[in-house]
Amino acid sequence: MEFGISSSKLFYLFIFGCFALNAFMDYESNAQLIPEDEVEVLKAISSKIQNLNWSVTPRSCIDGGFKNETINNVTCNCTFSNGKVCHVTHIDWSDNYLYGSIPRSFARLPLVALNLSYNKISGPIPKEMGEITTLEELRLRDNMLEGTLPSSLGKLKELRILDLSHNYLNGSIPESFARLPLVALDLSSNPISSPIPKEIGNITTLEELSLRDNMLEGTLPSSLGKLKQLRKLILSGNNFSGIMPESFGNMKKLEYIAIDGSNITGKLPNFIGNWTELYSMSLQGTSMEGPIPTAISQLTKLQRLAISDLHGPATMRFPNLEKLTSLEYLTLRNCSIHDSIPNYIGKMENLYFLDLSFNKLIGKIPDNISHLIHSRLSYMFLTENSLSGKIPGWILQDNSNYLDLSYNNFSETPILACQYNNVNLASSLSSSANTTHTCLKRGLPYRGKPKYHSLFINCGGTEIDYEGNTYEDDMNPAGISLFSLRDDRWACSSTGVFIETFDDNFTATIGSSFYQTARVSPLSLKYHGLCMINGRYNVKLHFAEIMYSHDKSFISLGRRVFDVSIQGTKYLRDFNIMKEAGGVGKGIVRDFNVDVNNNTLEIHLYWAEKGTTAIPNEGAYGPLISAISVTPKFKIPGGISTGAIAGIVVGLCVFLIIPIVFILRKMGFVGGKDSIDKQFLDLKTGYFSLKQIKEATNNFTPDNKIGEGGFGPVYKGVLSDGVVIAVKQLSSKSKQGNREFVNEVGMISALQHPNLVKLYGCCIEGNQLLLIYEYMDNNSLAGALFGGQGKNIPLNWPTRMKICVGIARGLAFLHEESRLKIVHRDIKATNVLLDKDLNAKISDFGLAKLDEDENTHISTRIAGTIGYMAPEYAMRGYLTDKADVYSFGVVALEIVSGKSNTSYRPKEEFVYLLDWAYVLQEQGNLIELVDSNLGSSYSSHEAMIMLEVALLCTNPSPTLRPSMSFVVGMLEGKLPIQAPVFKHRQSGQDVRFNAFEIQSAEGSHNQQTFDSSTISHQSLEQRVEAMDCPSSQDNHSQTLVSSSFSCKSAKQRVEAMD
């Protein structure tokens, strides 16, 4: 009997086991292992660099990648010893917020590339790094490294890329670097000093060399001309002197060159014509001389050309750039060019940036530039020239372009406004131009009697008391070449554009509170003291550098260098705030004695591209000023202080002159074209002639009528330059017409916000009082929501949300962000207009009420619309910005529901939409208010947010309503919805909160405009009767507007009038 496995089968099993064992042993012998000593090195590195959490074992390398790493970009090479040994060859730990120092043990790794850029690594670069003989790339950019550049790096015979930029490395450039086979060398933004070693010219493999923003000095070595492979050369922001060597003409492969902000001298050389591969050339802020050589016409590949601040002949001609058709960016600023603008500029189809400012350009602006304005040209700066003729109308047609025509000699402008959208026209007309709009004239002359002896401005900051003086706030919006005017006292003009986006009102958190804010301009910043009494003054300019850091990082290396001129005389040249003050955040004062002879003081700060231009980022780092004080050196007449005189003058104007003007106008003695009312209009407001407006509106033909405002009809018009306008014609029979007119012009002209309707100007001739606004293509929100079939505009949910947030932002600006705190008083759907993109803009500031102090106050005059007025305002005239919040809440309900608050009555007992909303809220069915026309195409979450915010805004108690800035935050989901809180209602009162209503004689409920100044004793009695107030025997009183106001209080008002 046989059992078990046969001997032959055992034999085969034995053979199979041998093969399996052999295969397993081969696998073990072929495993890709990191040597033990290298593993220990990697572990040591992990312990030295903070925030680097990773583990490593001999088996971590798999297929050239790294296993179990927590930071990516670690690469292995497993081709050593026939694939049995792996080495870590590439490490890229950039931008991981690593800190600590660089471990010396890196030298024990066979690295090919090491990148530790964009971290917080500090300390010196270990000299042992020069022992990594396999290294081809070393990138340590943007850390906090300090100490000297180690000469040992010169031993890295394979090194092709060396980037040590944006650190705090000092000393000189080691000559040993010349032995490296570098393709790219970047040492920019360090405090490296001494001259450039001539040996650098021996790196003939070099293609990119950047030494920007260091402290290098001496002459440019001619040996650099041997770098015939060089494509990029950046030497800006250093202290070089001497001329540009002729040998530079040998670098014929150059594509990019920048030598801005240095002291190199001599004429701009002809050999620049050899750089035919060049696409970018920047030679700004040097001490070189013109003219610009004709050889520049050979650089036909140029896309960016920037030359500024050339010295030399006083009458240089415009260079021949006609063949440079690829230009996208052209700056020829302050180059002493005395010529006209050539027509070929208008043929540069790719041009988007043009700066020809601070020259002596004459003649007219070529008409063919107009098509560039409508295509690609976004920025055009022609400020400080002698251009003449009429400013062309096409300049004003595109609101998206930034144009600066200030300080020229034009004879005429199509609109009398010193700042029109993004166009700066301040001082753009000659001093002899026929205009009463003085801010347009050269020199900003003042027509009236001079009255100011002093001036105190907290530049870029809020009002502040300092050393016994009150410095006015300077929070006017500025930015890209804008002009702002503070009444008739002073003006500010800024020129240029920042490459990096940041506010020109800059705030710091270091140093004295007086020096924590500043105004900064990209290029040129002017302050004008206006209406000043002639005489000698002491001008104190306060400075503090607050944009750079004070630690040992490259950001502390920033150097802001600019010139300061007063009354046309340069008092400070190459002024460096940080150097003069001895550090960051330290205040410094420079004072000067100057004469005012024409009642105007001009302070001019100008940046000539000197100092650093790439710390912390590449861009413009123009002049910065913290505060200005101007005091008289002469005795003030009568011994009265400057402040007292200013106060007296202002008081007289407010309390005497303006009332007299109103009386004279009402009596018919004043009202012609030269009416004194114009003297009180903000100089930023454009003035139009009646002839212009009649032509624009076809003599106010009924076909052009687009609506009826609170004080008269509104017409559509088209100006001669094609600008579409809306003209509000104030009714001559309106008792409040003149007052509201002057109020509206003064208010709106000072306000600029994307969600406010822009006021273009005004017209005062005879009995005509006209306001000229921007035209809104889609009319009012009321028309869009309630216009009826064929008249309304279908608004989808995202658009409704955008409109609601836009209204909230506009009100937040009026209440909290504007220099003048304003309560609108009549927010409703008809006073919200929609532009072509259905963006909401608040209109009709004729009823605006200045809220100049922080205190709640009682208005003696009520103006608003029934159904939208807050109860405390409608019944008691109690006015705060919370009245607008209430009105906003009503409008928000209308936006969600698509129904009018005053006309929608789902049931007879509900007077307003708001009543029904409260009922649905108590029933938990608030979502039923959403417009049925939306179907299911809306966000129920966003709808509930808007509805809850709306009811929160209509709280009966004004103190429990949120601010508009909080409303914006809630609507945008950035802030939580506040829980609604209502005052306790007495028993017997209706659970609903009824908005104030007035019944007509027919008993219907109509929307009415309410003005308490026209309410007589009799009419108020009739309104109390209409309220159906109960008799004194009744045990309760009907709630009309809030739990705190009843018919009894309304009757008391009648009795008080007896």
- The catalytic site residues sit at 826
903 Cβ neighbours under 8 A, 6+ residues apart: 786, 1005, 1007
Of 551, 619, 559, nearest to 120 by C-alpha is 551
Residue from 773, 722, 683, 57 nearest 419 by CA:
683
Q: How far is CA 767 from the centre of its chain?
A: 41
Alpha carbon of residue 321 to chain centroid = 33
By the 8 A CB rule, do 336 and 310 touch?
Answer: yes
Q: Are strands 161-163 and 184-186 parallel, antiparallel or unpaired?
A: parallel
Count Cβ atoms within 10 A of the Cβ of residue 557 and give its class: 0-12 exposed, 13-18 middle, 19 or more buried.
buried
Contact indicator for 811, 827 with CB cutoff of 8 Å:
yes
Alpha-carbon span 301 to 275, nearest angstrom: 10
- Say what angle helices 658-667 and 737-748 make with each other, to 10 degrees: 140
CA gap 174, 6 in Å, rounded: 82
Distance CA 593, CA 606 (A): 20
Beta-sheet pairing, 840-842 with 849-850 = unpaired
Rounded-to-integer distance, Cα 180 and Cα 137, Å: 12
What's the maximum distance between 2 C-alpha atoms anywhere in the chain?
144
Burial 136-169 (b: 16+ CB within 10 A, else e): bbbbbbbbbbbbebbbbbbbbeebbbbbbbbbbb
Beta strands in 220-333 (DSSP E): 232-234, 239-241, 256-258, 280-283, 304-308, 329-333
Q: Which two tokens stand for residue 950?
A: 């709306």
Residue 87's Cβ-side half-sphere holds a number of Cα atoms within 13 Å equal to: 13
Q: How far apart are CA 708 and CA 305, in angstroms?
A: 54
Name 703's Cβ contacts closer than 8 Å, sequence gap at least 6.
none
CA-derived radius of gyration, the chain: 37
* Separation of alpha carbons 821 and 808, rounded Å: 15
Task: Count Cβ neighbours within 10 Å for each residue of 580-612 and write b for 16 or more, e otherwise.
Answer: ebeebbbbbeeebebebeebbbbbbbbbbbbbb
- CA 325 from centroid of its chain's CA atoms: 32
Enter the tokens of residue 23.
Answer: 């295969």
Among all chains, which residue has been given the structure tokens 């490593």? 56
Rounded (10°) angle between helices 964-971 and 797-812: 150
**For residues 217 and 241, is the Cβ–Cβ distance under 8 A?**
yes
Sign of CA dihedral 744, 745, 747, 749: positive
Alpha-carbon gap, residue 350 to 174, rounded angstroms:
43
How long a stretch of residues is the chain?
1058
Give the pairing of strands 712-718 and 168-170: unpaired
Place of tokens 């394979």: 158
Distance from first CA to last CA of the chain, Å, rounded?
Answer: 138
CB-based contact 826:775 (threshold 8 Å): no
d(C-alpha 461, C-alpha 457), whole Å: 9
435 φ, ψ to 5°?
Answer: -150, 145
